A and B are shown apart, each in its own frame.
Chain A
Amino acid sequence: MRQKKDKIVAKLLGKYPPLFKQWVKRAEFIEFDDSPWTPLDKDVSLCRLALITTGGIHLKSQPPFDMFDGAGDPTFREIPADTSPSELIITHNYYDRSGANKDVNVVFPLERVLELKQSGEIGDVNHRHFAFMGHIMHHHIDVLMKETAPRVAAKLKSDRVDIVVLTPA
């Protein structure tokens, strides 16, 4: 029942921007006074790129994100760069997935960045990318900030990734 309600709310928020704006005013977010900063010190055409999405994308063979826990799910899924769109599925009841269900590049543009590599506009596409499910609340925020997000960052660092594009949903 709750899952059905979540999907209806997500559709309405996507369809009516003023409603979404009101929702944002009332919702609680972790707020920061400043931003971390890493300058980009080389040409993009020489950089290795990775994607991180909060769009709930994962391989069909991986466990889905938890849609039963009202506080969300702070875990992540690793997506190999050679994954085809047909191997992917979305588990995320908190946004309107109608566009992404037709073309996953709308949220997770893996095919597009591979094309930019082919045309020489970026140096390399990392061999793996990462997906979270962006509904993460209450006690899960601590897990995200102290455990799962730092683990993803460490993996990307060990892969010598230069640039990361983040796509919320």
Chain B
Amino acid sequence: MATISISLSKDITEKVRPPRALYFGFPLGHPIGYPHQASLHHRVLRLLLRYLKDIDSPGTIVELDVTEKDNGVKYPG
């Protein structure tokens, strides 16, 4: 099974090193975004699905601004 995680803290994710992680900068308790914003949730999920395929190095954290398109910044895995 291929897995991808949301990161709510890059500091924690760098220690725990899941195979793939996306960091959007959402506050604690809001890994997929804010309540009743289905289009935002869909966008976050589509990015997770895309980076499941695109990340090719174990331990990679990608920081994304969910308000803009395709501006992923890769942190070294």
Residues of chain B contacted by A55 (CB below 8 angstroms): 29, 31
Q: Output the least CB separation between A75 and chain B (Å).
A: 20
B45 in contact with A163 (CB, 8 Å): no
B29 in contact with A166 (CB, 8 Å): no
Residues of chain A contacted by B8 (CB below 8 angstroms): 168-169
Residues of chain B contacted by A21 (CB below 8 angstroms): 9, 11
B36 in contact with A24 (CB, 8 Å): no
Residues of chain B contacted by A81 (CB below 8 angstroms): none
**Bitwise interface map of B from 1 to 40 toward A, beta carbon under 8 Å scored 1, else 0:** 1111111110110011111000000011111111110100
B28 in contact with A24 (CB, 8 Å): no
A31 in contact with B16 (CB, 8 Å): yes
A105 in contact with B17 (CB, 8 Å): no
B58 in contact with A103 (CB, 8 Å): no
B12 in contact with A24 (CB, 8 Å): yes
Which residues 137-169 in A have Cβ within 8 Å of B in the complex?
153, 156-157, 161-169
Chain A: how many interface residues by the 8 Å CB criterion?
52
Q: Counting CB contacts under 8 A, is B59 at the interface?
A: yes
Q: Output the least CB separation between A9 and chain B (Å).
A: 11
Q: Which single member of A20, A29, A109 contacts B32 (CB below 8 Å)?
A: A109
Given known contacts A40-B2, A107-B32, is B45 in contact with A116 (CB within 8 Å)? yes
B29 in contact with A37 (CB, 8 Å): no
Q: Counting CB contacts under 8 A, is A95 at the interface?
A: yes
Within the assembled complex, what's the spacing in Å between the Cα atoms of A166 and B49? 12
Within the assembled complex, what's the spacing in Å between the Cα atoms of A88 and B35? 15
B16 in contact with A165 (CB, 8 Å): no
Q: Which single member of B30, B33, B45 contacts A165 (CB below 8 Å)?
A: B45
Known A99-B29, A165-B6; further 9 A-B contacts with Cβ < 8 A: A14-B27, A21-B9, A32-B16, A55-B29, A100-B30, A102-B35, A109-B45, A116-B46, A116-B49
- Which residue numbers of B lie inside 8 Å of A, CB to CB? 1-9, 11-12, 15-19, 27-36, 38, 41-42, 45-46, 48-50, 52-53, 56, 58-59, 77
Query: What 5 pairs between A and B have smallest CB-CB spacing?
Result: A103-B35, A35-B58, A102-B35, A166-B5, A35-B59
A selection of 13 A-B contacts at a CB cut-off of 8 Å is A20-B9, A31-B17, A35-B19, A38-B3, A55-B29, A96-B29, A105-B32, A113-B45, A161-B1, A165-B48, A168-B7, A168-B31, A169-B29
